[in-house]
Amino acid sequence: MSNKAARNLFILGSLFFFAIFLGLTYDTMGKLDKRAPEITEQVNAGKMVWHKYDCIGCHTILGNGSYFAPDLTKATERKPKGYLKRFLMDPKSANPNASMPKLGIRDEEADDLIAFLDWNSKVDTNGWPPKPILAAAGGVAGKELTEGQKLYQSLGCAACHLINGIGGTTGPELTTVGARRDRSWLIGHFKNPEEYVKNSAMPKVEAPEADIEKLADYMITLK
Ligand code: HEC
Ligand code: HEC
């Protein structure tokens, strides 16, 4: 190859790959904006609170942090905000078995933190981290789900409760709840847990009356 040909190959090759680089950059920048919601003042304030208490010393978020405590990338997707606020301000009041220390987070700081966690939860992370496998929660392999079991799944009860080994451990295990509670207690408790259990951290079940009854009908079969 002559010197001229080599020079042309070098220049054209560089231009070619530079054009690809520009194209991909443009493509990425166009998508980035849409992958995260707007950052409000409260989200910013929440991030400051996040640093103040060194949450990242125990938790991971969006891939950064420590592995001592659960990942919080999708925190507000998994647990209701009312529950989270209470947990942040006093973990043991929301979950008697909690080992997260009471950090002295103030009311306003908790609201800011939740705005920050909510912002993170809404970032499009291409499905990361994988959701816990709760699809089978409440069901029995090979059997079609009842209306009550479907509601149990769609209302996210398994985020806090275990049935036959599947679910979370924030609330009591429900595998044999039908042996402890009757239908009317369950219906009343769903509508207003605090009326039945002092300082309950269970969120009210926001669903039509008919669905609440179907849930209770399902619960009493658990014996
Ligand atoms: C010393 C370690 C530690 C620090 C610091 C810490 N956490 Fe936690 N956190 C935990 C542990 C452990 C859990 C798991 C539940 C439990 O056992 O308490 C947890 C659970 C949580 C949960 C989930 C609660 C649930 O029931 O699903 C949230 C939300 C949370 N932490 C937020 C925070 C935020 C926000 C900060 C900073 C203000 C923070 N944590 C600081 C240890 C920590
Ligand atoms: C954010 C966590 C959380 C979610 C979500 C949640 N619960 Fe609870 N649940 C609790 C806690 C904490 C308790 C214990 C305090 C109480 O009994 O009110 C509880 C108690 C209960 C009890 C009473 C158990 C007993 O032995 O006394 C039942 C039944 C129950 N939950 C069913 C449900 C159903 C059904 C759903 C979904 C619609 C649900 N829970 C969603 C946290 C939660």
pLDDT tens digits for 57-103? 999 999 999 999 999 999 999 899 999 999 999 999 999 889 999 99
pLDDT tens figures, 104-153: 999 999 999 999 999 999 999 988 888 776 667 777 767 888 999 999 99
Ligand 1 pocket: which of 68, 100, 113, 160 to mutate (most atoms within 8 A of CB): 100
Q: Ligand 1 pocket, 116 CB below 6 A?
A: no
Give the per-residue pLDDT at 134: 66
pLDDT tens figures, 26-53: 998 887 778 889 999 999 999 999 999 9
- Would residue 138 be called left, alpha or beta, if left means φ above 0 and alpha means ψ between -120 and 50 degrees? left
Peptide bond into 172 cis (omega under 30): no
Distance 160 CA to ligand 1 centre (A): 15
Residues 90/93/97/99 CA torsion (nearest 10 deg): 10
Q: Ligand 1 pocket, 88 CB below 6 A?
A: yes
For residue 150, give both structure tokens. Answer: 């479907």
